[in-house]
Amino acid sequence: MIVVRLFLSVVLSLLWMTSLEAFESYYFSPDLVGSSARSVRLGGVEGMSYHADSVFENPASLYRIRRFSSSFFQTEFMQEVLYQNIAVAMKTPMGVFGLGFFNVGVDGIPKTGKQDYVDYTDYYVRYYFNYQNSLIKGSYQFSMSDYIHFGVSGSYFFSEFDTVRATGYNGDLGLVLDLGRFDFSLLIRNLITSNSIHFSDTEEGTNSSDGQIEKLSIQNVYSVNYRLRHFTMYGQIKTVGIQRELHNAVGFQFNPRFLPFIKGSVAYKQYPLVVYEEGELFSKDKQSLTVGVEIDLAGLHVNYAYERSDHIEFEHKNYFSVGLTF
**Would you say residue 171 lies in a domain?**
yes
Please say whether the beta carbons of 138 and 99 come within 8 A: yes
Question: Residue 249 half-sphere exposure, CB side, CA atoms within 13 Å?
Answer: 27
pLDDT higher than threshold 50 for residue 119: yes
Is residue 276, in this structure, part of any structural domain at all? yes
Distance CA 221, CA 8 (A): 14
Rounded distance, CA 325 to CA 52, Å? Answer: 8
Q: Is residue 120 part of a domain?
A: no
| The pLDDT value given to residue 269 | 95
269 near 40, Cβ under 8 Å? no
- Domain of 143 in residue numbering reads as 2-104+137-325
Residue 112 falls inside a structural domain? no
**Residue 121: inside a domain, yes or no?**
no
- Backbone phi and psi for residue 153, each to the nearest 5 degrees, phi listed first: -135, 145
Percent helix, strand, coil in the chain, to 5, is 10, 60, 25
Bridge partners (DSSP) of residue 204 are: none
> Quick check: is 111 in a domain?
no
Whole-angstrom Cα distance, residue 208 to residue 201?
Answer: 6
List pLDDT tens digits, range 137-147. Answer: 999 999 999 99
**92 - beta bridge partners?**
95
The answer to the question of residue 8 being in a domain is yes
Q: DSSP string covering 238-256, please?
A: EEETTTTEEEEEEEEEE--
Confidence at 251, pLDDT banded by 50, 70, 90 = very high
State what percent of residues in the chain have pLDDT above 70.
88
Q: Please state the pTM of the whole predicted model.
A: 0.88
Query: How many helices and strands, by DSSP H and E, does the chain display?
Result: 2, 16
Query: Which whole-number Å values give the CA distances from 185 to 11, 38, 100, 120, 232, in the listed order?
Result: 13, 17, 20, 62, 15
Nearest to 290 by CA among 259, 256, 314: 314
- Looking at the structure of the chain, the number of domains it has is 1
What are 127's strand-pairing partners? 111
Instruction: Tell me how long the chain is.
Output: 326
Q: What is the CATH number of the domain that holds 178?
A: 2.40.160.40
Instruction: Decide if 262 is inside a domain.
Output: yes
Please say if the pLDDT value at position 125 is more than 90: no
User: Residue 19: its pLDDT value, please?
Assistant: 37
Model confidence pLDDT, tens digit, residues 85-117: 999 999 999 999 999 999 999 998 888 888 888
Residue 16 — pLDDT band, cuts 50, 70, 90? very low
Instruction: Give the DSSP letter string of 199-225.
Output: EEES--STT--TT-EEEPPPEEEEEEE
| 151 or 16, higher pLDDT | 151
